[in-house]
Structure 1
Amino acid sequence: MADDNAPDGAPKKGKLKTILLVVVVVILAVGLSVAGTLWFLQDKSDDGDDASSDGEPAQPAFQPSQYAELEKALVTTVQAEGRQRYAQVYVAFEADNAAALAATELHMPLLRAQLINVLAASDFMTLQSAEGRQQLSQTMLDAVNGVLEQEGEPPLKRVLLRNFVLQ
């Protein structure tokens, strides 16, 4: 009994070292985790020529599309089995840059005439299907880009049919 004179509440030296060692390891692990996460998430574009030194081309920056709408509808007759039918189309232009849209405003009378000619040359039965309307849109785009190319202007991306009525 004389050997057990130490108070029961005092921690032993070995337990204190173990607790201190666990706390240091946990703090070190959290620090390394944060540093690793920041390293992986850092922006690689700050380095400058990394993409060009690897031989991979740099990705172009995203450019949102810009739109211009024709206020007046394109109205013309379309031949259908020996009868004349009416077609009314509201059109919008989509481009990657403002210069192409400015060119469409400048050359609008010529573009309207070309679009009406394309619409008038279309077949009524073909225009009733979704594929026919998609083909019409592509034909209109080719006509508009042909006019813009003749005038030395940048091309459009798409011609969009906003409202389409056949009667």
Structure 2
Amino acid sequence: MAENNASNQAPAKKGKLKMIILLAVVVILAIVLSVVGTLWFLGGSLPGMDSGDAAAETPAEEQFVPSTYIELEKALVTTIQAEGRQRYAQVYLSLEAVDAQALAAAQLHLPLIRSQLVMVLGNSNFNELQTPEGRRGLADKMLTTVNQVLEQEGEPAIKQVLFRNFVVQ
């Protein structure tokens, strides 16, 4: 009778062991499929898979190049005629460029650039300079002027002219 009890318990333990192993395999398979599905969905590549087609389909992303700046130490100060009266304008500027060579060239030709910028500022309309659109327009004119000077000297262009302080009175 003892033999009968022992033989009945052995198959039950084998069945539980098979169930645990099967459950573990199913869980591992689910995890692997989840990771593969996520990588595929996000466009990643799996180790061992040929990613030549994926690289050919996606365009090359532009590399981020940080801007560099120089500050014009002295303010540009000039008079502006407005309704028969003389008004004053004072502007502190910074120049922004992606290419450090453009800023070095701007620093080298700074006397000519300052002279041209004072002329642009002096020829501006006082009433326009009091509006944000007028100041943006002035910045665009100044950018064009600086880039014209640098182009005449055979140097690379700058990206933007920035106002650090802007006063008209």
> Counterpart in 2 of 1:151?
153
Equivalents in 1 of 2:166, 2:9: separation in Å? 89
Q: How many corresponding residue pairs?
A: 160
In the superposition, the TM-score normalised over structure 2's length comes to 0.82
Structure in which a larger fraction of residues adopt helix = 2
Instruction: Give the 5 Å matches for 1:22-101.
Output: 22-34=23-35, 37=38, 40-42=43-45, 51=55, 53-54=56-57, 57-101=59-103
DSSP-derived class of the 2:161 partner:
strand
List alignment gaps of at least 5 residues for structure 2.
Answer: none
Unmatched 5+ residue regions in structure 1? Answer: none
Structure 2 vs 1, CA of residues 108 and 41 (structure 1 numbering), >3 Å: closer, same or farther? Answer: same
Give the Å deviation of 1:41.
3.7
What is the RMSD of the two structures over their aligned residues, measured on CA atoms? 2.8
Write the distance in 2 (CA, Å) between the matches of 1:67 and 1:97: 10
Instruction: State the secondary structure of the residue aligned to 2:5.
Output: coil
**SS at structure 2 position matched to 1:6:** helix
Letter in 2 for 1:15: K
Query: Secondary structure of 2:88's match?
Result: strand
User: Once the 2 structures are TM-superposed, how far is the Cα of residue 130 of structure 1 from its aligned partner?
Assistant: 0.3
CA distance in 1, matches of 2:53, 2:24: 42
- Confirm or deny that 1:163 pairs with 2:160: no
For the residues of structure 2 that align with 1:150 and 1:80, how far apart are their CA atoms?
A: 33
Equivalent of residue 113 in structure 2, options 111, 114, 132: 111
Q: Percent identity?
A: 61
Q: Distance in 1 between matches of 2:159 and 2:122?
A: 23
